[in-house]
Structure 1
Amino acid sequence: MTATHPPHATPLPRGERERRPRLDAARGVALLAMAVYHACWDLTFVGLADFDLFENPLWLAARTTILSSFLLLAGIGLVLATERGLDRPRYFRRLGRLAAAAAAVSAASYAVFPDSPIFFGVLHHMAAASVVGLLFVRLPALVSLLAAAAAFAAGQSFGFPLFDSPWLRWIGLTSFAPDSNDFVPLLPWISGLLVGIALARLWPSVGRGVLPGGVVGRGLALAGRHSLAVYLIHQPILFGAVWLIANSGLVPVESPATRSFQSSCVASCGQTGGSAALCEPRCRCVQSAITATGQWEAFLADRLDAQGRAQIGAAIQSCAAR
Structure 2
Amino acid sequence: MLKKRNPTLDLYRGLAVLLMMIFHFCWDLREFNHISYHLTDPFWVYFRSIILFLFLTAIGWSAYISKSQNCNQSQSNILKRFLMRQGKLLLAAVSISLITYITFPSQWIYFGILHFIFILSFIHYPFASLPIISASIGLFLFLIYQLTDWLLFPNIHYLITNDFGAPKYTLDIIYPFPWVTCIFIGPLIGKALSNVHLQTSLLTNLLSWLGQHALNIYLIHQLILYTAVKLTTDLLSHLN
TM category, shorter: 0.7 to 0.9
Preserved CA contact (<8 Å) 1:72 1:194: yes
Match of 1:67 in 2: 52
Q: 1:27 & 1:162 partners in 2: Cα distance?
A: 30
Q: Number of paired residues?
A: 227
Q: 2:33 & 2:114 partners in 1: Cα distance?
A: 27
Letter aligned with residue 41 of structure 1: W
Q: 2:138 & 2:239 partners in 1: Cα distance?
A: 46
Letter aligned with residue 52 of structure 2: L
User: How far did 1:215 drift?
Assistant: 2.5
- CA change 1:18–1:35 in 2 (3 A) is same
Q: 1:103 & 1:190 partners in 2: Cα distance?
A: 21
Query: Looking at both structures, which has the greater relative contact order when contacts are Cα pairs under 8 Å and sequence separation is at least 6?
Result: 2
- CA change 1:40–1:252 in 2 (3 A) is farther
RMSD: 2.8
Q: Give a deviation string over 1:160-189, Cα, whole Å, max 9, x none.
A: 74663229x9xxxxxxx9421110132221
- 1:187 is aligned to 2:177: yes
- 1:80 is aligned to 2:65: yes
- 1:198 is aligned to 2:188: yes
Match of 2:235 in 1: 248
Higher-helix-fraction structure: 2
- CA change 1:252–1:22 in 2 (3 A) is farther
Q: Percent identity?
A: 28
Preserved CA contact (<8 Å) 1:154 1:188: no
- 1:136 is aligned to 2:124: no
- In the alignment, structure 1 segments of 5+ residues that lack a partner are 1-12, 170-176, 254-322
State the structure with more CA Rg: 1
- 1:108 is aligned to 2:99: yes
Q: 2:138 & 2:38 partners in 1: Cα distance?
A: 30
Instruction: Find the residue that maps to 1:166 and give its secondary structure.
Output: helix
Q: 1:162 & 1:132 partners in 2: Cα distance?
A: 19
Name which of 110, 120, 131 aligns with 2:111: 120
Preserved CA contact (<8 Å) 2:30 2:36: yes
| Residue correspondence of structure 1 range 193-272 to structure 2 within 5 A | 193-201=183-191, 203=192, 206-208=193-195, 210-250=197-237
Q: 2:60 & 2:12 partners in 1: Cα distance?
A: 13
Q: Give a deviation string over 1:28-55, Cα, whole Å, max 9, x none.
A: 11111110000011111122211222x2
Letter aligned with residue 33 of structure 2: G
4+ residue segments displaced more than 6 Å: none
